[in-house]
Amino acid sequence: MNLSLPVNRYYLGVVVLMVGIAVFLIFNFIPSRYFSDNQQEVTKLYFADNISPAHQEIINRFNQKYAGEIEVMPIHLPFDRFTTNERKELLARSLRSQNSRIDVFAVDIIWVPRFTRWALPLNEFMGNGELDNLLDEAMFTAYYDSVLVSVPFYIDVGLMYYRKDIVRSWSDGEAIEKRIRQSIAWKELRQLRDKYAPGKPFYVFQGDQYEGVVCQFVELVAGYGESIVVDGQLDLNAPEVVKSLEFLVDKIYKEGLIPEEVTAFREGNSYNYALSHDIPFFRGWPGLDQNVERYGADSVKVKQLGIAPLPHFKGQQPAGTFGGWNLMISRHTSKKEAALKFIQFAISGESQELLINKGHYYPVNSQFYTHDMYREQYPDLEYYRYLLRMGVHRPWLKNYTEISEVLSYYLNMALEQKMPPEAALSKAEQTVDSKRVFIR
């Protein structure tokens, strides 16, 4: 009997099986870069932020520059969907897991102390040459306990908007506008109201239970030359601190300079209220006048807005709270080198110019404020640099977010006349010192 056919089939089956095992082992245990015609595998870098058109253009240019090597994958956390606090908690929950997919993330500058625990220390990776061109005011927010834990991306400062059309309609409007641009005193603001709009609200700020009301409060305390923190400890019982809150309450209920509605205002509704009620002065952050299309019927009024320092107390300097966003690298990223390249690109002149042109964000690169070429191209930056010199930082404490949550609640209670100012501040300090979980 001829057995050659079955034997051949047997050996053929063995060969096929061995080849299959070899193929499986090769493709599963040998790095894939050996099978891509020597092309390196693309590193996917996950970046969490509010991805504005300016952010997206920076990402697009970075991806183009590092095509085939690194690709930034944006994780969009839009401001119009998430409040600042909601963004903070979303990031914190994700980063608590060492398996987080986030590699690079943006933080409000005041979050830096809290997020340090999840951030990669950058001292050994970022040379001084890369940071020398960044504004000192921004670089202050990059460190915690002398460790570089973040890199500034763009900067804000609290300021006052004023209606140029209204001011210029007054009999001595040109001279008044000049004083406004230098900084107007609270007393003169009241005198202008009594002369040109007697009995009507004249100024608006944000007084709801959130970070905005704390910024307004910090600015007033700084306007008296004081701080709410002394030797690293919260101190809300100092006379000037109490006087600052009493000042706001009086401006609402005794003078009527500020409408009662501010107790429920955040940025958006405070802007809308001021515009729709033709209130000539209101506190805000940079960029409102660059987003005309959002305001529909009031868009013509938005085009009439000018910016100025916040009002000051007689004999004192004006103060505006610093804001802005920094970039951090996750401590647990496996893509450190790619993340560093992206951050270096984000603070480059090319990216910072995109922030101005496409997003109307103010750059942290100091060359835009000092170099003749940029000053000619962006003349508004010179005045904005003037405003930055009046900036004050909020308390640089790891538990600041908890302090802010408590303080904003009691500030709002006082503004709504549910508690006297001194009692509200005393209760806020006691609550923070107790270190108990605060539930509103």
| Tokens, residue 258 | 């500020």
Does the structure show a pLDDT above 80 at 2? no
**Residue 128 pLDDT:** 64
Query: Which has more pLDDT, 68 or 289?
Result: 68
The CATH code of the domain at 159-321+395-434 is: 3.40.190.10
Tell me how far apart the alpha carbons of residues 251 and 372 are, in angstroms, rounded to a whole number: 43
CA distances from 116 to 49, 120, 380 (A): 17, 8, 34
d(CA 365, CA 352): 7
Write down the H helix ranges in 183-266.
186-196, 211-223, 239-253
- Cα 364 vs. chain centroid, distance in angstroms? 12
Contact status, residue 102 vs residue 91, Cβ threshold 8 Å: yes
| pLDDT value for 30 | 35
Q: Could you report the per-residue pLDDT of 274-324, keeping only the tens digit for each? A: 999 999 999 999 988 666 667 676 888 999 999 999 999 999 999 999 999
Domain ranges for the chain, please list them: 43-157+322-392, 159-321+395-434
By the 8 A CB rule, do 322 and 391 touch? yes
Does CATH number 3.40.190.10 belong to domain 43-157+322-392?
yes
Q: 236-245 — which CB contacts under 8 Å span 24+ positions?
A: 236/407, 236/425, 236/426, 236/428, 236/429, 237/422, 237/425, 237/426, 237/429, 241/425, 242/421, 242/422, 242/425, 244/217, 244/220, 245/217, 245/220, 245/411, 245/414, 245/421, 245/424, 245/425
Whether 432 and 402 have beta carbons less than 8 Å apart is answered as: yes
State residue 34's pLDDT score: 37
Q: Is the pLDDT of residue 33 over 70?
A: no
Give the separation between CA 213 and CA 219, rounded to whole angstroms: 10
Tokens describing residue 75: 């994780």
Q: Work out the widest C-alpha separation in the chain, in whole angstroms.
A: 122
Pairing of strands 147-148, 362-363: unpaired
pLDDT of residue 12: 41
What's this model's pTM, rounded to 2 decimal places? 0.86
Model confidence pLDDT, tens digit, residues 113-169: 999 999 999 998 887 677 889 999 999 999 999 999 999 999 999 999 999 999 999
First to last CA, the chain: 93
Are 98 and 332 spatial neighbours (Cβ–Cβ below 8 Å)?
Answer: yes
pLDDT for res 360? 87
Is it true that 43-157+322-392 and 159-321+395-434 share their CATH fold?
A: yes
Cα-flanking dihedrals φ and ψ of residue 204, to 5°? -130, 140
